[in-house]
Structure 1
Amino acid sequence: MEVSDFEDFFRATYPKLVRYAQRRVDPEQAEDLATAALQALWAKDLSASPRGGDDRPALESLAYHILRGLLRNAGRAEASFRNAVHALERQHDAGRYEPDIVDQIMSNRWPAWAQTLPATDREVLQLVVDGYKVNEIAVILDCTPAAVSMRIYRAKEKVRQLWMEEVGDEQP
């Protein structure tokens, strides 16, 4: 891929990646991770494309894939940091530990009963809640729009079952 082509790709894809990353991290970190994902993509040898024609959809999917990995790494690093801080707090104040506000917010983002949903179902539902269209979700998850529609349908069915178990015969 030529430098000018990649610059065009960068300008078109960067805002999408930042928007996606902001679902999980603060805006500044989202920008850094989106940049890192595109830098990693640029570092790959993209000159020998396995397909002819326009590879932008495949490159965009690959950029999202790289970004998801960077987000997972950032999440693991944050969790590791919080665990270390909590361990120190517990050692200092044995038995009087309160979860910090980040833990409370993260645990309250989804209701307790929804925590039993598989991560893939929560992911697709969160993308819908965040306002992404089926075609955009397909690019993010690197699958077809039909597969996204099916994932959304199945996730909604699981939520409906969990909700009915939670509320019993009560109607909302």
Structure 2
Amino acid sequence: MSTSEKKQDREARFSKLYGLVYNDVLRFIQRRAGPDHAEDIAHEAFMAAWRRLDHLPSKHDEARAWLFATARNCMLNNQRGQARQGALAVRVATWTPTFVDAETDMTHLCIDLAAAWQRLRPEDQETLSLAIWEDLPSSQAGQVLGISSAAYRIRLHRARKSLRRELDSSPYPASLAESLMTE
């Protein structure tokens, strides 16, 4: 059997499994995690199935059960990620910069920063947190997100622009908000 035939057999097996099991896995996830993240989690489970297709059980029912277990693990990972983001949001809300202009100004800045952070998309929060709190270089941050370092730098640029827009829309002076963006 040639490599292209193996590839076609692999793709056909996956397509058949996907067609037979996707709706079951999606409903399984929706009942447990709700509709907001269900499709993302289902796709994550099927990505794992694609990567491990050669090791999946050959019987339909066993492969289906394997996918349910994988989907459950993906849900747990998703829940842990959401918990980390919630903890990060709390840390942002309680964070105080190292410079002090005036105590009142700092209070306003913290409130504005926390509010701006909450308005950011979770993807932007994660991108910024890898750079700010985890202090990861773009190559490692990209690896965490499963993207190239160049793609991470683009996301970081966009996330910083989003945060800057949110801070600019606040009543707080832009000069202090800018000093936060460059730290």
TM-score bracket for this pair, using the shorter chain length: 0.3 to 0.5
TM-score (structure 2 length as normaliser): 0.42
Highest RCO, 1 vs 2 (Cα 8 Å, sep ≥ 6)? 1
Which has more helix, going by share of residues?
Answer: 2
State which structure, 1 or 2, has the greater radius of gyration over its C-alpha atoms: 2
